[in-house]
A and B are shown apart, each in its own frame.
Chain A
């Protein structure tokens, strides 16, 4: 049962990831990216971590994907990304991917994890919340400051008035 769900989610995630990178239209690419992120949330659910799955859905699918969609609609009018593609770069990318996958595979096989089954207990989300507010509370404060400063920085960048099209160099 879990295997069939895993296979379905894998096909959905990897297929839409390839689609997101290969489709010329940026809008359809963003929607495919949204499906990929939802698929990753499904993986988190399969891994018995529903808290991370909910966080993934609310942050990625709810915020980041919508933000990307808005930016794409704001920025492009014709919405077609006609880039010049070098086929050698594509082959180099595929080769690099195979090398990295082989390396990670040998590391995992050599690491002593012989079985996919584990009898470790699942982590309760209450434990995660408790950790956040006790041991990780300084990190949580730093995280809040980073988020606030990144939002302020994004606002300052986007609201600059002195950047005009006269500064084009071509």
Chain B
């Protein structure tokens, strides 16, 4: 799951930089840099959630999570 999300974010960044190559200013690359930083924050929170879920269920298969109550 998390791998797939990472790949989608990366492809979006790649598109940003690729099409920004056609315009002469630096806006596209700046937006890509911001996007990479946001993705880093998202991964940190996602991995913390995985650790909490593992502590609750001793498993990280999302099919086994029956409740999200803390």
A157-B51, A168-B57 known; A63 and B40 CB under 8 Å? Answer: yes
User: Chain B contact residues (Cβ within 8 angstroms of A): what range?
Assistant: 35 or more
**B residues near A147, Cβ cutoff 8 Å:** 37, 40-41
B10 contacts A44, C-beta separation under 8 Å? no
A123-B29, A136-B30 known; A36 and B60 CB under 8 Å? Answer: no
A74 located at the interface, meaning its Cβ lies under 8 Å from any Cβ of chain B in the complex: yes
Other-chain contact of B3, A33, A48, A121 (Cβ < 8 Å): A33
Type the 1/0 row for B45-66, where 1 means its CB is closer than 8 Å to any CB of A: 1011111101111101101101
User: Chain A contact residues (Cβ within 8 angstroms of B): what range?
Assistant: 35 or more
**9 cross-chain pairs, A with B, having the tightest CB-CB distances, nearest first:** A154-B48, A150-B41, A157-B48, A123-B26, A120-B24, A154-B44, A158-B48, A71-B47, A75-B54
Q: Which residues of B contact A (CB under 8 A)?
A: 2-4, 6-7, 10, 13-14, 17-18, 20-27, 29-30, 32-34, 36-45, 47-52, 54-58, 60-61, 63-64, 66-67, 70
